Amino acid sequence: MRLGIKTDDQFLVKLNEKNEQIQDVFTEKIKKLAEKYLIDVMLQDGSVKKQETFDAQKIEPLFKNIEIGLEGWTLRGISSTNNEGLRRNFIKLDKIVENCQISLHLSLQYHVLLFYQPNYEVMKKQKELSDFMDETKKHEEELTKKSDKIILKKLKEAGYKDLDPESLFEIFYSEDKIREKIMDEIKTETSGNLDDINQHKNKLLKNLDDLLLEIYQIEPILIDETRLVSGEEGCVCNIDIEEIKNNQKTGSFDSNNITDNVKEKIQTVINQVFSAVQNAN
């Protein structure tokens, strides 16, 4: 059961109040972490402009400091995901309290934009790549023609002599064994040239990639996991509590099943979360 859900249970009402305080403190931490500053970036055309960003390198140290404050908790992971310019950093921990498990999930989701560093090398490498692509285009066309000739030649050698080129290519694409054998021979006869071209092209592309600059954008507000999954920017701070029966998590929690002693221990653990978040830098 997730804390924050409306309830008439007085024990859970108290936990919800503390949970709200934890969320408020965490959100303030994220607002401070996500303070924007301006940085120079270069566009594709070589022009330079100012762009707002924040220091995403501060996220993991914040999570680690929170973890340090949660002594006795089990860390389930500090990690990040990156999906088409949307990045998520998160930490998950849990703690067993008698016959209950308390889980904490903190997450931060933001967009990543790519620009070039304001460096003359960018324009230089772009021109070098453009010139190379122009030079190799004709060479690649020649290699393609050479490959076609090899296909026709090998098919005729295999006994397909009295067919027009179109029929020969139909055989080539429909007969797997023949195609594999011919492709191996094509690779042997042309690989030196193609390998050199691809190797140099990849080197130039890597040189440009090394000059890329990541810019981070976030709206530092508290969101729920539904909005997180849908790709919204923001932060998540969730605490779940559930009973354990027969060594299995039940997914539910009923305070009527819990002794006063266990309730006291749970409150202590929730207070520990508040202190860990509040004291983290």
Of 210, 239, 268, which residue is a domain's last?
A: 210
Establish if 109 belongs to a structural domain: yes
Q: How confident is the model at residue 1 (pLDDT cuts 50, 70, 90)?
A: confident
Higher pLDDT, 20 or 9: 20
Instruction: State the chain's mean pLDDT as an integer.
Output: 85
State the amino acid at position 266 in one-letter form.
I
Establish if 193 belongs to a structural domain: yes
User: Do 134 and 172 fall within a single domain?
Assistant: yes
Radius of gyration of the chain (CA): 30
Mean pLDDT, rounded, for 233-260: 88
Q: Give tens-digit pLDDT for 38-68.
A: 999 999 888 999 999 999 999 999 999 999 9
Residue 19 reports pLDDT greater than 60: yes
Give one DSSP letter per residue of 90-138, joined into a string.
EEEEEEEETTEEEEEEEEEEEEEEEEE-S-HHHHHHHHHHHHHHHHHHH
Q: Of 230, 225, 249, give the one whose Cα is nearest residue 4.
A: 225
User: Do 50 and 187 fall within a single domain?
Assistant: no
Establish if 139 belongs to a structural domain: yes
- Which two tokens mark 130? 């453009």
State the amino acid at position 131 in one-letter form.
D
Establish if 1 belongs to a structural domain: no
Domain that holds residue 145: 120-210
Establish if 222 belongs to a structural domain: yes
Residue 261: CB atoms within 10 Å? 9
pLDDT of residue 139: 62
User: Do 25 and 162 fall within a single domain?
Assistant: no
Higher pLDDT, 65 or 246: 65
Match 């703690």 to its residue by tokens.
95
- Using DSSP, state whether 270 is helix, strand or coil: helix
Total domain count, the chain: 2
N- to C-terminal Cα distance for the chain?
A: 29
Indicate the pTM of the whole model. 0.75
Of 152, 176, 210, which residue is a domain's last?
A: 210
User: Do 18 and 56 fall within a single domain?
Assistant: yes
User: Do 74 and 14 fall within a single domain?
Assistant: yes
pLDDT of residue 237: 96
State the amino acid at position 151 in one-letter form.
I
